[in-house]
Amino acid sequence: MTIARSRQISLQDTPYYHVVSRCVRRAFLCGEDSHSGQSFEHRRQWVVDKLSQLSRVFAIGICAYAVMNNHYHLVLKVEPEVANGWSDREVAERWAGLFQWPLLVRRWYLEESLTEPELAVVQGLLAQWRERLYSISWLVRLLNESLARQANQEDGCKGHFWEGRFKSQALLTESALLACMTYVELNPVRAKVAERPEESDYTSISQRLGRATGELPPLLLPFSEKQREQEHALPYAFTDYLTLVDWTGRAMRDDKRGHIPAELAPILQRLHLAESSWLRQVSVFRRSGIRAVGDGALCQQYANHCGQQRCRHPKH
C-alpha cells in the first residue's frame, strides 16, 4: 500500500534522505535511444540547471547526485533550522524566485498599510512558504514538473513523464549516509557509462573535482576536513571519501576486485565497519521497497515516528 509522503520523512530521526525519480516512458530522460538514434544527452544539463536553481532557494543541502539515462539520484540534507533563521522578507524573496506573489504580499513587501486580517493572511502565507522551502516533496515536485514540461514539449506529446511518485529512503546513520553517497557516485560506473568515478559527467563527484559542465552547478554541502567542527558540512574528509569511493568501485566489480588500500583503515574504523559489511550496505540501495537504512533499533524508532508499526529495512 502506498504510504503518504509525510509519513516517510521524520526529521527527528535524520535530516538525510536518498531520493530516486524514474522516467515512465520508453523514451529516455537522457542518453541515446538505440532504436531511433535520437540523442537526449542535452537533457542532463536540464536536470543540473534546474537543480542548481533550486539548491540556491531551498533550505535543503545536496550531498550527492547522479543524472542517469532514465532516472536521477539525489542525496539530500533537510535543514529546517536554516529556513527558520530567515527573516520574513527573505522567505518572500526566495519564494518569488519560484512563484509570483499575491497582490497582498506585494503590498506588505512594499510596506503599505494593511489591516489586521490582511496582515494575518500574509503571515499565514509566509509560514506556509517557509515550511515548503525545506520540503523534499516541494523540491522534487518543482524539479520534475520543469523537466516534464521541457521533455513533453520537445517530444511533442502530453501525459505523465515520471513513473509515479519519487522514491525516498531515510539514512539513519553516518555509515548509511556514506554508503548511499558512494552508491550514487558509482551509478555511472556500474552502468558502464564511465570507467572511473572521476570521468563520470553530471555527478556530484565530477563537480567536486572541478569537472562539472555549465556556468552555475548545483550547490553542494562541503566536506569537513576537521571532523564535526563545521555545522553544515558532511562529517568526513574529502580525501577519505574519494579513496573510499574509488576502492568500493573496484571492489564491487566482478572482473576487478582490487585490494583495500592501507589509508582506508581510519575511516572504516571510525564508522565501525568491516569491509564485507560495507559492501553489503552499499549494495542495498539497488533493492526496491527499502524505506530506511541504518541499524534495526534506529529503523524501528523511525517507523514509530512516522506512525508505522514497522518499516522495511535491510538486514546486515
The DSSP secondary structure of 254-276, one letter per residue, reads: TT------GGGHHHHHHTT--HH
In this structure, is residue 286 part of a structural domain? yes
Specify the 3-state DSSP secondary structure of 102. coil
Q: Which of 97, 132, 167 is the last residue of a domain?
A: 132
In this structure, is residue 27 part of a structural domain? yes
| CATH code, 278 | 3.30.70.1290
The answer to whether residues 62 and 92 belong to one domain is no
The answer to whether residues 251 and 165 belong to one domain is yes
Phi/psi for 253 (5° steps) reads -90, 130
Residue-level pLDDT at 263: 45
In this structure, is residue 2 part of a structural domain? no
Residue-level pLDDT at 209: 82
In this structure, is residue 310 part of a structural domain? no
The answer to whether residues 51 and 115 belong to one domain is no
Rounded Cα distance between 63 and 182, Å, is: 11
Residue-level pLDDT at 313: 55
The answer to whether residues 216 and 104 belong to one domain is no
In this structure, is residue 312 part of a structural domain? no
Single out the residue of 303, 306, 295, 10 nearest to residue 314, CA to CA: 295
Residue-level pLDDT at 262: 38
Rounded Cα distance between 39 and 54, Å, is: 26
In this structure, is residue 50 part of a structural domain? yes
The answer to whether residues 162 and 257 belong to one domain is yes
Domain extent, residue 194, equals 13-79+134-305
Q: Which of 102, 132, 162 is the last residue of a domain?
A: 132
Residue-level pLDDT at 51: 94
Rounded Cα distance between 231 and 72, Å, is: 28
The answer to whether residues 177 and 50 belong to one domain is yes
The answer to whether residues 204 and 258 belong to one domain is yes
pLDDT tens over the chain, length 316 residues = 455 555 678 889 999 999 999 887 555 565 565 555 566 678 888 999 999 999 999 999 999 999 988 889 999 999 999 999 999 999 999 999 999 999 999 999 999 999 999 999 999 999 999 999 999 999 999 999 998 888 888 877 777 888 878 899 999 999 899 999 999 998 888 887 877 777 788 899 889 888 766 667 888 999 886 545 566 788 888 888 888 888 887 776 555 433 334 344 444 555 565 666 666 666 667 666 677 777 777 777 777 777 776 665 555 4
Q: Alpha carbon of 211 to those of 201, 208, 217, 221: distances in Å?
A: 8, 7, 10, 17
The answer to whether residues 32 and 65 belong to one domain is yes
Contacts of residue 10, Cβ cutoff 8 Å, sequence gap at least 6 = 170, 302, 305, 306
In this structure, is residue 281 part of a structural domain? yes
The answer to whether residues 158 and 295 belong to one domain is yes
Q: Is 110 exposed, middle or buried (0-12, 13-18, 19+ CB in 10 A)?
A: exposed
CB neighbours (10 Å) of residue 169? 25
Specify the 3-state DSSP secondary structure of 35. coil
Which residues share a beta bridge with 72?
21, 67
Residue-level pLDDT at 74: 97
b/e 229-252 (16+ beta carbons within 10 angstroms → b): eeeebbebbeebbbbbbbbbbbbb
The answer to whether residues 42 and 148 belong to one domain is yes
Residue type, 147: L
- Indicate the number of domains in the chain: 2
The answer to whether residues 123 and 233 belong to one domain is no
DSSP category for residue 203: B
Q: Is 17 left (phi over 0), alpha (psi -120 to 50) or beta?
A: beta
Q: Which three cell numbers stand for residue 25?
A: 516512458
Q: Which three cell numbers stand for residue 212?
A: 562539472
Rounded Cα distance between 112 and 294, Å, is: 52
In this structure, is residue 270 part of a structural domain? yes
Specify the 3-state DSSP secondary structure of 162. strand
Residue-level pLDDT at 1: 45
The answer to whether residues 59 and 203 belong to one domain is yes
Q: Which of 95, 117, 132 is the last residue of a domain?
A: 132
Q: Which three cell numbers stand for residue 67?
A: 543524472
